[in-house]
Amino acid sequence: MKKTMLSLALSLCAMPLAAAEGPGAELKIVESVPAETVYGSSLAARPQEVWLEMIGSAKKKLDIEEFYIADEKGEAMEPVLEAVKAAAKRGVKVRLIADSVMMSETSKALPALKEAGVDARVVNFKKNIGGVQHSKFFVVDGASAFVGSQNFDWRSLTQIHELGARLDSKKAAADLELVFDADWALAGGAPVKKMFGKGKAAVTAAKPEKALLNGAEVSYSLAFSPVGHIPKGADSEIAGLLKLLDSAKSTVRGQVMTYALMEHGSKRWADLDTAFRKAAARGVKVELIFADWGMGGKADRDIKALAKTDNITVKISSLPPLKDRFIPYARVEHLKYLTVDGDRSYITTSNWGPGYFNSSRGVALFIGGAAAAEALEDIFSKAWDGPYVQPVDPLKEYQPVKRS
């Protein structure tokens, strides 16, 4: 008996402590690769595969919050929507929120979803808060979530360059549910001041969660937009982004679709622009890629002005059309992310302008650790050194890109 007890004690002592103290979550970077391009990082997964696996695993609850829905017969979104309908038909409680401003697209997909048992609401974010419901995320069984630039749009899967992340974490899922439930209430007629209940955010910059990403340990936190309309205790996205840029010592690299200091008659807002310039003034090497959709007319003046700054290099990306057809509202860099000093990263659903941070719903992910930055910088380098970019010319009069 004594020998048995001694053996058991020795076995317990030999158990690695890390197993009990290790990360309780897992992250996966997810990149949408436009067909017929040189893009596609081996350090990132592809969205359709990730979405189908996540949605197919739902047993009790699936909450989806999207800017809009766009389907096309025979395209990549079709099986995703079929998976959503299948989840509802097998008894999963499926709720879906879309913004009213894009109902001309969303209304085409809603009838079939509702017929399958999906409970859908349309939120008028502009009327209630001033911007749009621009976030793109979904939560499965309170245990996993997806956040990214990818709309529920077939083009976002195969015809637009996008970036997102899968989060297998009950804490992250709970925080995103706080936002979903608030916007669900707003879409149901609740007053703005009563959107958020008693729930408090758990994964913040002050209390990040450890996670595994590509086999390495990282830490992450969530942040939200717009300012003033986020869960109790949650971080503001723009505050987190400015703090991240202020911490940069050597490099800042990133991509976004549009960049502006003014939008739709808004007041001039220079917080983000100033942060980039201050980093450059400290000697930080700033490299940015903007989409050609942001060029032309008055839209590109802020990009041109930023490009004139010492230590800041700006390139404009123009993705080529498919060889055999033109696809409206596609073939563009729509992803939105940054890396700082090769060990901190930011992935968001927001373009970089005042309306996105101050009056529109957005969700952001801040990640500490080289593993995340390595994946994002691999994506960045393929664009920065690739065949689709050119340095911005401050003297050139760019013509607006044909979108439709």
Within a domain: 403: no
Average pLDDT (321-325) is 96
Residue with tokens 């995320």: 137
In a domain, 246, yes or no: yes
Amino acid at residue number 349: T
What average pLDDT does this structure show over 266-283? 95
**3-class DSSP state of 123:** strand
19 within some domain: no
Pairing of strands 144-148, 61-66: unpaired
The predicted pLDDT at position 266 comes to 73
- Measure the CA–CA gap between 151 and 63, rounded to whole angstroms: 15
- Residue 85 has phi, psi (to 5 degrees) of -65, -40
Nearest in space to 201 (alpha carbons), one of 164, 179, 234, 226: 234
Let me know if residue 336 belongs to a domain. Answer: yes
Q: Is residue 21 part of a domain?
A: no
Mean pLDDT of 49-75: 98
Confidence of residue 1 (pLDDT cuts 50, 70, 90): very low
Percentage of residues in the chain having pLDDT higher than 90: 91
Decide: 89 and 113 in contact? Cβ < 8 Å. no
Amino acid at 313: T
- Within 10 angstroms of residue 282's Cβ, the number of other Cβ atoms is 12
In this predicted model, what pLDDT tens digit does every residue of 132-190 receive, in sequence order?
A: 999 999 999 999 999 999 999 999 999 999 999 999 999 999 999 999 999 999 999 99
% the chain with pLDDT above 70? 94
At 299 the pLDDT is 78
Q: What is the CATH number of the domain that holds 288?
A: 3.30.870.10
What three-state secondary structure class fits 256?
A: strand
Phi-psi region of 37 (alpha: psi -120 to 50; beta: other; left: phi over 0): beta
C-beta separation of 181 from 65 below 8 A:
no
Establish if 250 belongs to a structural domain.
Answer: yes
Range of the domain at 322: 26-391
pLDDT for res 233: 97
pTM comes to 0.94
Per-residue confidence (pLDDT) for residue 198, from 0 to 100: 86
Q: How crowded is residue 26: how many other Cβ atoms within 10 Å of its Cβ?
A: 15
Q: pLDDT tens digits, residue range 2-52?
A: 444 444 343 434 433 333 356 889 999 999 999 999 999 999 999 999 999
Distance CA 135, CA 225 (A): 9
Using CA atoms, how far apart are residues 379 and 335, in angstroms rounded to an integer?
Answer: 10
Burial of 126 (0-12, 13-18, 19+ CB in 10 A): middle
Residue 6: the pLDDT is 41
20 domain residue, yes or no? no
Average pLDDT, rounded, for the chain: 94
In sequence order, the 6+-apart residues with CB closer than 8 A to the CB of 365 are: 147, 165, 167, 220, 221, 222, 223, 346, 347, 348
Instruction: Please answer whether residues 63 and 95 qualify as being in contact, where contact means their C-beta atoms are separated by less than 8 angstroms.
Output: yes
Structural domain count, the chain = 1
- Residue 4 forms part of a structural domain: no
User: In the beta sheet, which residues pair with residue 338?
Assistant: 254, 346
The CA–CA distances, whole Å, from 256 to 214, 294, 316, 379 equal 24, 10, 10, 13
Contact 210, 219 (CB under 8 A): yes
